[in-house]
Structures are given as structure tokens and as C-alpha cells.
Amino acid sequence: MITKGNVSTFSFYVRAFDTKNNYRNYGEPATQLSLEQAKEEFAKRCAQNPLSVNTMLGVEYSSKNAELNKHGVGAVDLLQCINGHLNLSEDYKLDEVLAHETLISVNAVSILKREADRLQRISDNATAKCAKRISDNIRTACVNTEAAEQFMKSLADEYGIDRIKDIVANELFGNNEIANAEIAEYLSSSFSGKYDSRFAVFGNSEQLEMLAHAAQFVEESLTETESKLRNSGLVYGDSNSIRDKSADIKSEIDHHNRIEDEGFAPDDGLSL
């Protein structure tokens, strides 16, 4: 939805960047949104995305006022979710167009300020609920390897495998000792560096390592193509979502590569 303001036309966007993958896009950007649509998309992604993904809600605009912006276009983040924490950016104050656009500098910013606490709770609640599910079920889930893998699969389909890894890593690195070097390596990039008691899991090291092994099994059970697309940020979400989206994207990449091979398009560097 594009809105005509005082000195520009503008719309809102939601984008996410994977800090573990050179800040590449995590999932497809959502653009040309109304503020209400952007808030809901931002809330959904804050609940789904792992803590290592930075999620941004911002505004992009075009303006014919060359005195305010000689380039005529611009984009600024208004609300950021970084490492699971929300931050209201004031970068819009440094942009001449947005500083004069009261629908943004006054109205939109005021609305986001009022919504910030709610949006923060959405992100935290999703992680806390997942951690509680693990705590409540850890004994039965760890009776054997198959049970652990089934539990991790069902949990990953609901919360996403990366969020689970963040929680298990938080408990193992922050509040326990890891004996298994392979698991330590697997989870090392999922630990924020500081233990967060809000996402505590009440289990022993052996149980937590068993869940980590199971999470690794679930993650690696994706096909090679699905894993490549997921790691590149072209698809995101739970395993079902990844599989649903991967086929279409693979088809598009294969089609574009055929066009490249025939000399009708430049090489975009994408391959599978």
C-alpha cells in the first residue's frame, strides 16, 4: 500500500538479515505494506525468526523535492529486532524527507512506540513457550533416540529449528558443561554469549546433548537443495514451509540458469 504524504509517497517494509550468513536476506522481504500490515508481518517474523536473525520494519519513499533529497528515493529502518531485543531507531530524524513527513515522523513513530512493548513480548513469548515445552517434555523425549528425534521434529515444525538451537545452546553453554565436542561445535554459533534465565530448560547435560543430537538430525534431514536454499536465506520457516517453498524457487533458478546458458541473461551467480 503506497501512501501520499506531505512531501513524498511512501510505504512500509519488513526485512530480515541472517547474521550467521554474511547478513544475507532471511526469507523474502515484504514490501509496499501499510503500517498495520507491516506491524503484523514484523510480529510474525519476530516470533518465527531465530535470535541470530535481525528483523527490520522500515519505510521507503520517493520524493520530487530535490532540496530535501536530490536522489529522489530513500529508505530508513524505524523498528529493529536485534538478538531478540527491540530497538526504536531514530535514523528518520537524519533524513530530510522523513523529518518533514509528519505522517512518518509523528504519526507512524508514535504508533510504533506504543506497540514496541507488545511486539517485544511476542518475540520473547515465542522463545519462552518453546523453552517451557522442552522443559515439560524433556524426560519423556529423552527415553531413547527415536523419541528425541520425533519431539525435536514436532517442535521444529512449530517454532523453527534455529530457535530450538538457540534455547538448547543457551542452557548448555550458559548453565551446564558440554562434554561432546561435536555438539559444542554444532551449537557454538547459536549461543549469544550470555545466559538468559527467561529461556531456561530444566534438564541435565546428558538430556540436553541428546536433544541437540536430535535437532542436528532433524536439520540435516532436509534435502541438499532444501538446505542450500535455507542457508542462503531464500526460504525460511519450519521444515514443511521450507519444503513447500523450495520446489518453486528451485524451478525458477533452474529456468534462469537455462536462460543464462543460452546467453539471454547475465550470470547472477545463483546455482544449486
Most confident residue range from 4-8, 188-192, 200-204: 200-204
26: left (phi over 0), alpha (psi -120 to 50) or beta: beta
Note whether 200 and 220 are within 8 A (CB).
Answer: no
User: Among 60-69, 126-135, 153-162, where is mean pLDDT lowest?
Assistant: 153-162
Report whether pLDDT(11) > 90. Answer: yes
Would you state the pLDDT for residue 6? 83
Collect all residues with Cβ–Cβ distance below 8 Å to 185 and sequence separation of at least 6.
none
Question: Which DSSP helix (H) or strand (E) runs through 50?
Answer: none
